[in-house]
Chains A and B, each alone.
Chain A
Amino acid sequence: MPETPTSPARADAAEQTPRRTFLDSILGFGFMSSAMAMLYPVTRYLVPPPGGEPATLSVVAARLANVPPNTGFVFNFGNRPALLVRTPEGELRAFNATCTHLDCTVQYRPETSQVWCACHDGLFDLGGGVVSGPPPRALERLTVQVRGESGQEEVVVSRD
């Protein structure tokens, strides 16, 4: 004989189903919370902390005697390359040597007295301004100072 809806077995089953669902959802909630508690610190950890290098930096680039007019060379400025140029007139200038286009390192060309980026043929004048090519902005200028006794002068490059 089929069970009627009011039989005790059916009533038990009906009562147990929500209890099972309830316990399952508690368990699921617990697992989800654990996953979140683990994922949160991990995602924060993955983001690199800001400011890998200090904003102000001062570096002795060379001895003045070693930088003849109409030359330029790249030196280590913090952990980025910088370019020191002595113009044909003997004036000292320094730039951030990273091209503003796609991060290539630029170089000085004595034959044209210009700064050149070999990657995409970008040209800059000795003020850092763009002459031709794809670079969107001028090169960042750095401050150059000469200090020390006569004959022993050092070229100090710094960023303010």
Chain B
Amino acid sequence: MMPRLVSWLDERLDLTGLTRVALAKTVPSHVHKGWYYLGGVTLFLLFVQLATGILLLLYYRPSAAEAFESVQFILTQVEFGWLIRNVHAWSANLLIAAAFAHLFSVWLLKAYRKPRELTWVSGALLLFLMLAFGFSGYLLPWNTLALFATRVGTGMAGSVPLVGDFLMRFLRGGDEVTGATLSRFYALHVAILPAMTTLLLVVHLFFVQRQGMSVPFDVEQSLPPGGRVPQTPFFPNYVLRDLMAWYVAMALLAALAAFFPWELGLKADPLAPVPAGIRPEWYFVAVFHTLKLLPGRVLGLEGETLGVLPLARRHCSCRSSTARRQRDGLVGCSQCSDSGRWGISYRSR
């Protein structure tokens, strides 16, 4: 049955041609090859988010009156609801961690250099989309922490010069964080961001397939003249190893979801005072601490304004071409890493 189906499809779609391409594909094998798996792990976690996100949609109700109760219902009444929700919450964190690790590995191995500039830019944009997913998804359980985090987050958008007020009202769907904001964030989280991510991901993966994996600079340099980096067949060798990396990610995810359940907290109450010790998710801590560090007003500008502008950053003392290339390559991400450093030094004080 199966071989007949395959040959039926092959006659019409030239599957053999595709298989030939997959079989001919190779991946460079060298001392840094382990970093190649990070992209695959990020992709796997994205699939996990997609699957668990769709499952959560079956019971979630996006309104200020029902959102919190519906998540509570998922956690306490629906069989394995706790597992699906915890996996979704943990996988979101692991996904952003994996994406950051992927970004830094690409940066440090200088894989962004010509001809892969567009792959790098599309990857950086994907990372911003993942952060937007994290920010919008955080509000959806409609608990107190999420309400205040969203107030602070959208308030920051309000201090952008000129368009700030418009941007804040646009994000909140009004002057305050209310049920209207929840509706917006829901639409963003389950429709707009997934559509943008799908598009950008296809582009990113197309670039990767088209150009093949980048060989690190020092590996290329150490080759004898005319020499070629040893190659591993993509199928089945690399695919199977990639799958094993996915298994490691899955084991970690399952353990975290089972042993460290993600708290739901208390239902959002707009009149309640901000709970003590409130802090954003770790991936926004850098921005959070930068805001704490900045004085109220600097040279007539609001401190917050300065914080959200990508101006208050980067003074690279080294002027070598490599350093400059690294710096230029980073574009928006130097903001994150620099403010991250600020955050860390501030905390250690």
Residues of B within 8 A of A45 (CB): 55, 58, 78-81, 83-84
- B58 in contact with A46 (CB, 8 Å): yes
- B83 in contact with A41 (CB, 8 Å): yes
Query: From B250, which residue of chain A is reached at the shortest CB distance?
Result: A34
8 A Cβ contacts from B55-84 to A: 55, 58, 77-81, 83-84
8 A Cβ contacts from B5-62 to A: 55, 58
A45, chain B: closest CB distance, angstroms: 5
Residues of B within 8 A of A49 (CB): 77-79
Q: Does A55 contact B (CB under 8 A)?
A: no
The interface size bin for chain A is: under 10
CA distance A10 to B349 in the complex (A): 71
A42, chain B: closest CB distance, angstroms: 7
- B79 in contact with A47 (CB, 8 Å): yes
CA distance A46 to B51 in the complex (A): 13
- A42 in contact with B55 (CB, 8 Å): yes
Instruction: Scan B251-286; emit 1 where CB is below 8 A from any A CB, else 0.
Output: 000000000000000000000000000000000000
Residues of A contacting B: mostly: helix
Q: Does A44 contact B (CB under 8 A)?
A: yes
Select A44's contact among B58, B79, B250, beta carbons within 8 Å.
Answer: B79
Query: From A47, which residue of chain B is reached at the shortest CB distance?
Result: B79
CA distance A34 to B248 in the complex (A): 13
The listed residue with most A CB atoms (<10 A of its CB), out of B78, B84, B247, B250, is B78
Residues of B within 8 A of A41 (CB): 79-80, 83-84
Query: From B74, which residue of chain A is reached at the shortest CB distance?
Result: A45
CA distance A34 to B244 in the complex (A): 12
Instruction: Scan B76-110; emit 1 where CB is below 8 A from any A CB, else 0.
Output: 01111101100000000000000000000000000
Instruction: Scan A31-57; emit 1 where CB is below 8 A from any B CB, else 0.
Output: 000100000011011111100000000
A79, chain B: closest CB distance, angstroms: 12
Query: From A37, which residue of chain B is reached at the shortest CB distance?
Result: B254
Query: From B240, which residue of chain A is reached at the shortest CB distance?
Result: A27
Query: From B77, which residue of chain A is reached at the shortest CB distance?
Result: A49
Residues of B within 8 A of A46 (CB): 55, 58
CA distance A46 to B55 in the complex (A): 8
Residues of B within 8 A of A47 (CB): 79
B234, chain A: closest CB distance, angstroms: 18
Query: From A31, which residue of chain B is reached at the shortest CB distance?
Result: B243
B2, chain A: closest CB distance, angstroms: 14
Residues of A within 8 A of B55 (CB): 42, 45-46
Query: From A50, which residue of chain B is reached at the shortest CB distance?
Result: B77
Residues of A within 8 A of B247 (CB): 34
Query: From A30, which residue of chain B is reached at the shortest CB distance?
Result: B247
A123, chain B: closest CB distance, angstroms: 37
Residues of A within 8 A of B78 (CB): 45, 48-49
A116, chain B: closest CB distance, angstroms: 33
Which B residues contact A (CB, under 8 angstroms)? Answer: 55, 58, 77-81, 83-84, 247, 250
Known pairs A42-B55, A44-B80, A47-B79; list 18 more (Cβ under 8 Å).
A34-B247, A41-B79, A41-B80, A41-B83, A42-B80, A45-B55, A45-B58, A45-B78, A45-B79, A45-B80, A45-B81, A45-B83, A46-B55, A46-B58, A48-B78, A49-B77, A49-B78, A49-B79
CB<8 Å pairs between A and B, sample of 26: A34-B247, A34-B250, A41-B79, A41-B80, A41-B83, A41-B84, A42-B55, A42-B80, A42-B84, A44-B79, A44-B80, A45-B55, A45-B58, A45-B78, A45-B79, A45-B80, A45-B81, A45-B83, A45-B84, A46-B55, A46-B58, A47-B79, A48-B78, A49-B77, A49-B78, A49-B79
